[in-house]
Amino acid sequence: MKELTLYLNDLTPGQLSMKRLAEYLRALATLYGHEESVHFDSVKPGSAQLQSQIEERAYPGVINQVREVSGGLGSKRAVSAFDRLSTLMAEDKTGASLRSGGAQIFQFPVVKTDEPPMRVIKPSSIQGKLYSVGGKDDTIPVRIEGADNETLHCETGIDVAERLAQLLFKPVRVSGDGEWERKPDGSWKLIKLKITSFTKLEDIGFKEAIARLKAAGGVDWNENSSAHSEILDTRG
């Protein structure tokens, strides 16, 4: 029999639940292959050491498969098992290596965990259709439907919530301190807005909005041949 051991650098046997140990062993069995010739031996102390005994006739094939997979080759099942082991290690925040007779056969690459996304809190205003105001605590959850039918999460105090509830299913603009998270593409996503004030918005159609703009004065699109220039001038 030949010994082959997975060393989990930053875990001790006491930190491995039976379920987690079973997940590691299941992935290891698939990675090694030759299931009938690979036998689990024990979990040794220190860094958690998952030791297996491999029948001598199958040992070269097991080592060859491990080396192939580490180089990006091997069967789909073995590659999938390797990826699963890497995921388990990343979740457990540990590095690992395979050793036989004290000699290192393979060092698992350290999986870099993603840095937490940037978050900022700043005065903000959002608008949309108010569709939920309610809760039991002093901080009342508020939900607003945005322009793209997304749910905008907000909260407020009881006093504001009581007044805001009168506008349920109406378009509103709410203001307060917003917590924003930067997405990988560089755009920002609202995590939560603490409402301190709000305004009811008029729900009017596009044609009526244009009519009101015309009635309020401004550029006469039909008579002004330099409308574009005039708009730029008024914007400074």
Q: What is the mean pLDDT of each run of 10 residues along the chain (236 residues)?
A: 88 87 91 88 86 91 86 83 89 88 82 76 95 89 92 95 94 96 86 96 69 63 57 54
| Residues 9 and 89 reside in one and the same domain | yes
Instruction: Please report whether residue 113 resides in a domain.
Output: no
Q: How many domains does the chain have?
A: 2
Whether residues 123 and 103 share a domain: the answer is: no
As a three-state string, the secondary structure of 158-202 is HHHHHHHHHHCCCEEEEEEEEEEEECCCCCEEEEEEEEEEEEECC
Collapsed DSSP state (helix, strand, coil) of residue 12: coil
80 & 149 share domain: no
Do 25 and 38 form a contact (C-beta atoms < 8 A)?
Answer: no
In angstroms, the Cα distances linking 69 to 52, 64, 108, 189 are: 19, 9, 11, 39
Residue 191 falls within a domain, yes or no? yes
Sign of CA dihedral 210, 212, 215, 219: negative
Q: What is the pLDDT of residue 35?
A: 84
Same domain, 76 and 144: no
Residues 102 and 150 in one domain: no
User: CB neighbours of 159 closer than 8 A, spacing ≥ 6?
Assistant: none
Per DSSP, the three-state class of 40 is strand
Same domain assignment for residues 94 and 36: yes
Looking at the fold, whether 68 and 99 belong to one and the same domain comes out as yes
Amino acid letter for position 215: A
Give SS3 for 133: strand
What is the span of the domain harbouring residue 134?
119-203
Do 102 and 137 sit in the same domain of this protein? no
Say which residues have a Cβ less than 8 Å from residue 224's Cβ, sequence separation at least 6: 230
In a domain, 190, yes or no: yes
* Chain CA centroid to CA 123, Å: 25
Question: Residue 72: its pLDDT value, please?
Answer: 75
Q: What is the pLDDT of residue 185?
A: 75
Judge whether 172 lies within some domain. yes
